[in-house]
């Protein structure tokens, strides 16, 4: 197996642009890796061998011509199957979209293509991004490269797994309540949810419009920043996109200096309910941060305990409306159209057959929450909680520069362990959800393995809106120390996968 | 099956009608409300579509600023307040003509609210003004259009299959909703019609819509209820859809009054329902029952930002509003010394603005009116042109009038010059020259032509001499024909009488 697959994205980009290695070789090495291990990992729903080699070849032509290349030209990437790709299947992990080929590219995809990033294929996910384990994919679960019997997190388990299984150095995820950060935490990779509005949502199939945000996944802080800089920026096609300069995340990732910074530990995100090994690694990180010259203080966010409940009203409400279009009339699978049934019957059968149980559960929940007579008590009340959460963050950021917490309460659990207990599943996102509710940027950074199970633990870093660069500065500072301590990337400790 | 009705006068003597009107106006923006697709009517099905207006997964709306501007201008013209801050909402229901299975609309935060429109109608006591209170004007997107193929009715029931055209989906609509209109008494039908007509004139004056009821760019729903007395509480209302001509608005109100009255008098209750109006038979039939419990699960549209029109912008738009059509009409009637009937002819010709422009360029009002409602309307009609598209400028008309008053052209030649203009033969002077249009003022050729005409009909000279001057008409006609209309008919007549020694 080529050693190209273990290289960082920034290193690969350098090799390609200098002409030392062709982008086609890089793409082929990763396609070979996918062929070797993805039968066991199942990170990909669709591998676009032809398209990947063609876009790699196009980069090589530019290298030969001496054209200026973007920072990640020729670097392969796994794309979460929730972003529309012109000419490539986009299923959202759902049978209802099986066979659908979008006629257009998401803005993020356009930016990736323009940057010469090589899209290897579409990665697995919980159906319509509803879940924290990727077990809710209609096409079967993804397995955690650290232990194939465990979940890779969710909803973007395919993206985190492909990065941590060395199938791609980069991936794009989307994060509505933690779907980039929690998978990053349980797979020992880095994931960032940018500020809401920082990355265009055009072409991102909506789960909950006011919470969704696409972001970068990689194996280190700098690569994550490079990918962040490629996909971020104002887009007139997305009305909620922010029209102001992208924070300088690359410089911040190169800087990594937190001396004199104030770091807040969120009191409500930790302690009881958090696995012992998660807590101990988190406490070590706090000590490390202090040793780097930052001041750490405890901050209370009293509304956070209500965040999960409010989230599970807002998300299903928006989702129930966003998912109404999947009726088999204009695109995707149509079920039951035998010429004898009414259009309502065909829509109904299409939806009943096309959606999995978690999607149906949330559509019903959201439909109920928006119903006349219940709206104020549920959706309206949840919006008030959302305002309180924002106020908690505002108050906290008046005192500190960034906030930290464990990303997830536990390390990766066993496939099937929580499948029949939705509430237990929802609790995986208890620490990440408040960030989405307030539209803030958040990072998950690997900080070691839990002693009791030798599985990765993630640190969550939260910054104020449009201060995404702070995440990278803090992340880079901690990462530098940990790499020195570990003698290399934590993913070097993961077991080698069979077939490789 | 037709329902029982009561004679209108009897119905009105027993009950007090309460009206409500909901008007949907398709805006004349070039692009749709939330995407860049064309709004042009009549394109091949599903050719004006994109991921956004097809509601494809991942697509997002981007607001058309001209749509918002038009909505504000309509609100201002209807004396409404303009919201400081408002949002779109999603109206959720499943229907195949709606790509997203929700309509992006406004719910409890309309862009314009609390307005009114004064309308004049003829009553037994002369012309009287009614104030129609307006509750709101809000923005929304149109749906696609279903056609049901096969079956006898063109309705979904019994059809073999249905087709959907999404060209219309996403076209900006403004819905203008009145408050309950009370106090009209027996004039309810006339008030309803006058309101829709006045609204149409205002919208046309604003230039925000082509307001063609027959093409559906202005659609009207008529709500009606009856109560025993003006003091009683409001009765149950019916909502009649597809009332798509001014005449139908009046008839639908009248019909519903007579239908409600018959039911109520018979002790039956009114069913709250939507009803379909049938233009041909002049009756409405029951549609689907409508209950207040119908639940659209409205919530604020998270994909669009709130709209907060600045006060400066609103005031700018207010200052640039055209004169209210009713006020303007009254002013022009006075300025031009027209009768109401003359003014109706002008308005119906669609050439009011063109005439106003010609007058401000210096053409006499009577002349401008004559050309635009006469010859130019005829030319437009013959050539299938909209009157606005007839290529005759105010300057052209002014030059034409100059040539007429100097005697260089007569009426008939002037019409030929206009034909030339519309055919693109150049400006008036060039056409006059190229076509050789000039009144023959030299008597020589006229006398020769008169001699020729008299020779062709030897009896006519004696007839004229015997005092039957009317017989001169055939000679003058023959001369005009011989000179291809370029003679001055009055001069021909003069010369003829001189020659025959007859005095008028
Ligand atoms: Zn469109």
User: What ipTM, to 2 d.p.?
Assistant: 0.96
Confidence of residue A370 (pLDDT cuts 50, 70, 90): very high
- Residue A444, classed as helix, strand or coil, is strand
If one counts every other C-beta atom within 10 angstroms of the C-beta of residue A346, the result is: 19
CA distance to partner chain A, nearest, from residue B162 (Å): 9
B299 touches chain A (CB under 8 A): yes
B31 touches chain A (CB under 8 A): no
Write the residue in A240, A329, A347 that is nearest to B305 by C-beta.
A240
pTM for this model (two decimals): 0.86
What does the pLDDT read at residue B465?
85
Distance, in Å, from the CA atom of B273 to the CA atom of A312, rounded to the nearest integer, reads 37
Distances (CA, A) of B443 to A43, B450, B488: 102, 10, 10
Distance, in Å, from the CA atom of B504 to the CA atom of B423, rounded to the nearest integer, reads 42
Nearest Cα residue to B388 out of B345, B428, B349: B349
What does the pLDDT read at residue B1?
57
Distance, in Å, from the CA atom of A386 to the CA atom of B300, rounded to the nearest integer, reads 15
Query: Are β-strands B102-105 and B89-92 bridged in parallel, bridged antiparallel, or unpaired?
Result: antiparallel
What does the pLDDT read at residue B154?
64
- Spatial strand order in the sheet of B102-105: B102-105, B89-92, B299-300
Give chain A positions within 8 Å (CB) of B64. none
* Contact status, residue B33 vs residue B166, Cβ threshold 8 Å: no
Fold of the domain spanning B443-500: Arc Repressor Mutant, subunit A (1.10.10)
Choice between A262 and B403, residue whose per-residue pLDDT is larger: A262
Write the residue in B59, B90, B305 that is nearest to A239 by C-beta.
B305
| pLDDT mean over A209-228 | 98
Rg (CA), chain A: 21
- Residue B14, classed as helix, strand or coil, is helix
pLDDT over 80 (residue B155): no
Write the residue in B58, B59, B60 that is nearest to A239 by C-beta.
B60
State the DSSP string of A265-307: EETTSSSTTS-HHHHHHHHHHHHHHHHTT-EEEEE--TTGGGH
Choice between B451 and A21, residue whose per-residue pLDDT is larger: A21
B305 touches chain A (CB under 8 A): yes
A144 token code pair: 């955690």
Cross-strand partners of B127? B122
Tell me how long chain B is: 504
pLDDT over 70 (residue B450): yes
CA of B32 to the centre of ligand 1 (A): 7
Tell me the pLDDT of chain A averaged across its residues: 97
What does the pLDDT read at residue B468?
85
CA of B45 to the centre of ligand 1 (A): 13
Residue A414 CA to its chain's centroid (Å): 20
A265 token code pair: 């530990």
* Residue pairs spanning A and B at CB distance below 8 A: 103
CA angle A365, A367, A372 (to 5 degrees): 120
Distance, in Å, from the CA atom of A264 to the CA atom of A474, rounded to the nearest integer, reads 12
Lowest-pLDDT choice from A442-446, B18-22, B303-307, B462-466 = B462-466
Distance, in Å, from the CA atom of B438 to the CA atom of B420, rounded to the nearest integer, reads 14
CA of A200 to the centre of ligand 1 (A): 19
Choice between A171 and B204, residue whose per-residue pLDDT is larger: A171
B263 touches chain A (CB under 8 A): no
Give chain B positions within 8 Å (CB) of A103. 51, 56
What does the pLDDT read at residue B292?
55
Distance, in Å, from the CA atom of B162 to the CA atom of B146, rounded to the nearest integer, reads 7
Residue of B nearest to A90 (CA): B57
| pLDDT mean over A313-330 | 97
If one counts every other C-beta atom within 10 angstroms of the C-beta of residue A326, the result is: 27
pLDDT for B405-433, tens place per residue? 888 888 888 998 999 988 888 888 888 88
| pLDDT mean over A416-435 | 93
Write the residue in A240, A330, A370 that is nearest to B297 by C-beta.
A370
**Cross-chain residue pair B58–A367, CB shorter than 8 Å:** no
What does the pLDDT read at residue B462?
86
Q: Please state the domain extents for chain B.
A: 8-291, 323-434, 443-500
Choice between B262 and B349, residue whose per-residue pLDDT is larger: B262
Distance, in Å, from the CA atom of A183 to the CA atom of B495, rounded to the nearest integer, reads 107
CA angle B281, B285, B291 (to 5 degrees): 155
What does the pLDDT read at residue B460?
86
Choose the mutation target among A98, A241, A323, A325 for the interface with B, i.e. most B CBs under 10 Å: A325
**Cross-chain residue pair B302–A318, CB shorter than 8 Å:** yes
Write the residue in B60, B101, B302 that is nearest to A210 by C-beta.
B302
Distance, in Å, from the CA atom of A360 to the CA atom of A368, rounded to the nearest integer, reads 12
CA distance to partner chain B, nearest, from residue A258 (Å): 36
CA distance to partner chain A, nearest, from residue B291 (Å): 13
CA distance to partner chain B, nearest, from residue A102 (Å): 8
B59 touches chain A (CB under 8 A): yes
Residues 6+ apart with CB under 8 A from A159: A43, A78, A79, A80, A123, A125, A171, A172, A173, A180, A183, A217
Distances (CA, A) of B379 to A134, A293, B303, B355, B448: 71, 88, 50, 16, 35
What does the pLDDT read at residue A90?
98
pLDDT for A9-37, tens place per residue? 999 999 999 999 999 999 999 999 999 99
What percent of chain B lies above the pLDDT cut of 70?
Answer: 97
**Cross-chain residue pair A202–B59, CB shorter than 8 Å:** yes
**Cross-chain residue pair B57–A90, CB shorter than 8 Å:** yes
Q: Strand locations in B124-250, DSSP E?
A: 126-141, 145-149, 161-165, 172-178, 218-227, 238-241
CA of B166 to the centre of ligand 1 (A): 9
Distance, in Å, from the CA atom of A427 to the CA atom of A30, rounded to the nearest integer, reads 35
What does the pLDDT read at residue B499?
84
pLDDT over 80 (residue B446): yes
Write the residue in A202, A237, A324 that is nearest to B101 by C-beta.
A324
CA of B399 to the centre of ligand 1 (A): 47
B116 touches chain A (CB under 8 A): no
Q: Catalytic positions of A, please?
A: 80, 155, 179
CA distance to partner chain A, nearest, from residue B54 (Å): 8
| pLDDT mean over A408-431 | 93
Residue B246 CA to its chain's centroid (Å): 10
Distance, in Å, from the CA atom of B174 to the CA atom of B195, rounded to the nearest integer, reads 16
| pLDDT mean over B3-16 | 95
pLDDT over 60 (residue A1): no
pLDDT for A38-68, tens place per residue? 999 999 999 999 999 999 999 999 999 999 9
What percent of chain A lies above the pLDDT cut of 90?
Answer: 95
A155 prior amide bond cis, ω within 30: yes
- Residue B319, classed as helix, strand or coil, is helix
**Cross-chain residue pair A237–B164, CB shorter than 8 Å:** no
Choose the mutation target among B91, B297, B308 for the interface with A, i.e. most A CBs under 10 Å: B297
pLDDT for A322-363, tens place per residue? 999 999 999 999 999 998 888 899 999 999 999 999 999 999
Write the residue in A201, A325, A370 that is nearest to B101 by C-beta.
A325
Distance, in Å, from the CA atom of B417 to the CA atom of B395, rounded to the nearest integer, reads 14
B304 touches chain A (CB under 8 A): yes
What does the pLDDT read at residue B153?
66
Nearest Cα residue to B193 out of B241, B252, B236: B252
Write b or e for each residue in A100-124: b if 16 or more Cβ atoms lie within 10 A of its Cβ, otherwise e.
bebebbbbbbbbbbebbbbbbbbbb
Helix ranges (H only) for B266-339 are 311-319, 325-336
* Contact status, residue B252 vs residue B246, Cβ threshold 8 Å: no
**Cross-chain residue pair B100–A325, CB shorter than 8 Å:** yes
Residues 6+ apart with CB under 8 A from B216: B26, B244
Nearest Cα residue to A143 out of A426, A433, A495: A495
CA distance to partner chain B, nearest, from residue A238 (Å): 6
CA of B36 to the centre of ligand 1 (A): 6
Give chain A positions within 8 Å (CB) of B148. none
**Cross-chain residue pair B62–A237, CB shorter than 8 Å:** yes
Distance, in Å, from the CA atom of B332 to the CA atom of B335, rounded to the nearest integer, reads 5
What percent of chain B lies above the pLDDT cut of 90?
Answer: 56
B150 token code pair: 């096969």
**Cross-chain residue pair B297–A327, CB shorter than 8 Å:** no
B341 touches chain A (CB under 8 A): no
pLDDT for B461-500, tens place per residue? 888 888 888 888 888 888 888 888 788 888 888 888 888 8
If one counts every other C-beta atom within 10 angstroms of the C-beta of residue B265, the result is: 14
Query: Are β-strands A76-80 and A118-123 bridged in parallel, bridged antiparallel, or unpaired?
Result: parallel
* Contact status, residue B199 vs residue B167, Cβ threshold 8 Å: no
Q: Hey, CA dihedral for A258, A262, A266, A272, is it positive or negative?
A: positive
- Residue A95, classed as helix, strand or coil, is helix
**Cross-chain residue pair B60–A97, CB shorter than 8 Å:** no
Q: Domains of chain A (ranges plus CATH)?
A: 3-303+387-493 (3.90.1300.10)
Residues 6+ apart with CB under 8 A from A296: A263, A264, A265, A286, A289, A290
CA distance to partner chain B, nearest, from residue A353 (Å): 17
A202 touches chain B (CB under 8 A): yes
Write the residue in A102, A210, A321 that is nearest to B102 by C-beta.
A321
What does the pLDDT read at residue B405?
86
pLDDT for B237-258, tens place per residue? 999 998 988 999 999 999 999 9
Give chain A positions within 8 Å (CB) of B156. 343
Give chain B positions within 8 Å (CB) of A320. 92, 297
Residues 6+ apart with CB under 8 A from A467: A195, A247, A441
């Amino acid at each position: 197996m080529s050693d190209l697959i273990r290289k960082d994205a920034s290193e690969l980009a350098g090799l390609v642009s200098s002409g030392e290695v062709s982008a086609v070789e890089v793409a082929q090495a990763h396609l070979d890796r996918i062929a070797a291990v993805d039968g066991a990992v199942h990170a990909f729903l669709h591998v676009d061998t032809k398209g990947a080699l063609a876009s790699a070849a196009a980069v090589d032509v530019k290298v030969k011509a001496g054209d200026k290349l973007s920072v990640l030209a020729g670097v392969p990437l796994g794309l979460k199957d929730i972003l529309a790709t012109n000419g490539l299947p986009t299923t959202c992990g759902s049978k209802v979209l099986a066979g659908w080929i979008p006629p257009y590219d998401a803005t993020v995809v356009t930016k990736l293509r323009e940057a010469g990033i090589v899209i290897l294929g579409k990665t697995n996910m919980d159906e319509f991004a509803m879940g924290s384990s990727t077990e809710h994919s209609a096409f079967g679960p993804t397995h955690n490269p650290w232990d194939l019997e465990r979940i890779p997190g969710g909803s973007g388990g395919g993206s985190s797994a492909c990065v941590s299984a060395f199938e791609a150095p980069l991936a794009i995820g989307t994060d509505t309540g933690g779907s980039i950060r929690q998978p990053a935490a349980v797979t020992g990779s880095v994931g960032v949810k940018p500020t809401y509005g920082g990355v265009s949502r055009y072409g991102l199939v909506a789960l909950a419009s006011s919470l969704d945000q696409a972001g970068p996944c990689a194996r280190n802080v700098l690569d994550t920043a490079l990918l962040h800089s490629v996909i971020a920026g104002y887009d007139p096609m997305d009305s909620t996109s922010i029209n102001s300069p992208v924070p300088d995340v690359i410089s911040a990732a190169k800087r990594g200096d937190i001396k004199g910074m104030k770091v807040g530990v969120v009191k409500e995100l930790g302690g009881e309910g958090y696995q012992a090994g998660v807590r101990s690694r988190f406490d070590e990180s706090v000590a490390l941060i202090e040793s780097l010259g930052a001041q750490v203080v405890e901050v209370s966010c009293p509304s956070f305990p209500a965040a999960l409940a409010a989230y599970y009203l807002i998300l299903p409400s928006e989702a129930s409306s966003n998912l109404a279009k999947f009726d088999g009339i204009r695109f995707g699978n149509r079920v039951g159209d035998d010429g004898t049934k009414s259009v309502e019957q065909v829509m109904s059968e299409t939806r009943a057959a096309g959606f999995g149980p978690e999607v149906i559960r949330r559509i019903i929940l959201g439909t109920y929450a928006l119903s006349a007579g219940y709206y104020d008590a549920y959706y309206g009340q949840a919006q008030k909680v959302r305002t309180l959460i924002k106020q908690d963050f505002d108050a906290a950021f008046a005192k500190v520069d960034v906030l930290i917490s464990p990303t997830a309460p536990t390390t990766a659990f066993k496939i099937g362990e929580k499948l029949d207990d939705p509430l237990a599943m929802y609790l995986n996102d208890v620490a990440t959800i408040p960030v989405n509710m307030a539209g803030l940027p958040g990072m998950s950074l690997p900080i070691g393995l839990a002693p009791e199970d030798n599985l990765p633990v993630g640190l969550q870093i939260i910054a104020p809106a449009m201060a995404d660069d702070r995440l990278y500065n803090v992340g880079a500072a901690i990462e530098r120390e940990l790499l020195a301590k570990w003698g290399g990337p934590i993913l070097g400790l993961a077991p080698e996968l069979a077939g490789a | 099956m037709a329902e029982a009705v009561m004679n209108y006068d009897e119905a009105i003597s027993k009950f007090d009608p309460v009206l409500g009107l909901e008007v949907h106006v398709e805006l004349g923006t070039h692009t749709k409300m939330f995407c860049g697709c064309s709004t042009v009517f009549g394109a091949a099905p599903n050719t004006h579509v994109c991921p956004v207006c097809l509601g494809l997964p991942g697509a997002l709306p981007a607001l058309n600023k001209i749509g918002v501007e038009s909505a504000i201008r309509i609100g201002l013209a209807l004396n409404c307040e303009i919201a400081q801050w408002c949002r779109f909402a999603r109206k959720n229901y499943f229907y195949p003509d709606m790509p997203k299975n929700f309509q992006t609309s406004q719910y409890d935060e309309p862009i314009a609210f609390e307005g009114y429109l004064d309308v004049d109608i003829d009553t037994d006591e002369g012309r009287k003004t009614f104030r129609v209170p307006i509750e709101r004007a809000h923005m929304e997107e149109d749906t696609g259009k279903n056609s049901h193929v096969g079956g006898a009715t063109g309705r979904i029931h019994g059809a073999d299959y249905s087709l959907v055209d999404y060209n219309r989906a996403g076209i900006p609509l403004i819905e203008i909703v009145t408050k309950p209109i009370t106090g009209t008494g027996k004039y309810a039908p006339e008030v309803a019609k006058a309101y829709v007509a006045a609204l149409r004139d205002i919208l046309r004056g604003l230039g925000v819509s082509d307001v063609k009821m027959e093409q559906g760019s202005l659609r009207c729903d008529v709500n009606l209820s009856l109560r025993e007395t003006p003091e009683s509480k409001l009765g149950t209302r019916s909502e009649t859809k597809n009332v798509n001509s001014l005449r139908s608005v009046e008839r639908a109100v009248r019909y519903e009054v007579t239908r409600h009255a018959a039911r109520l008098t018979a002790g039956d209750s009114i069913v709250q329902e939507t009803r379909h109006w049938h233009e041909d038979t002049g009756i409405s039939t029951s549609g689907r029952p409508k209950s207040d419990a119908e639940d659209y699960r409205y919530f604020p549209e998270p994909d669009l930002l709130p709209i907060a029109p600045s006060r400066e912008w609103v005031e700018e738009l207010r200052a640039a509003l055209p004169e209210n059509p009713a006020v303007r009409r009254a002013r022009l009637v006075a300025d031009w010394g027209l009768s109401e009937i003359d003014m109706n002819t002008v308005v119906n010709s669609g050439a009011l603005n063109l005439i106003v422009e010609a007058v401000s360029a210096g053409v006499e009002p009577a002349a401008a009116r004559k050309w635009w409602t006469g010859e130019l309307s005829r030319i437009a009609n013959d050539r299938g042109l909209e009157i606005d598209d007839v290529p005759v400028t105010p300057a052209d008309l002014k030059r034409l009038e100059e040539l007429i008053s100097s005697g260089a052209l007569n009426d008939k030649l002037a019409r030929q010059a206009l034909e030339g203009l519309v055919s693109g033969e150049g400006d008036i002077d060039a056409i006059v020259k190229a076509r050789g249009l000039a009144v023959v003022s030299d008597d020589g050729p006229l006398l020769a032509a008169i001699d020729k005409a008299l020779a062709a009909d030897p009896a006519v000279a004696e007839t004229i001499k015997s005092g039957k001057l009317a017989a001169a008409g055939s000679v003058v006609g023959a001369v005009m024909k011989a000179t291809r209309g370029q003679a001055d008919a009055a001069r021909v007549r003069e010369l003829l009488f001189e020659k025959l020694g007859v005095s008028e």
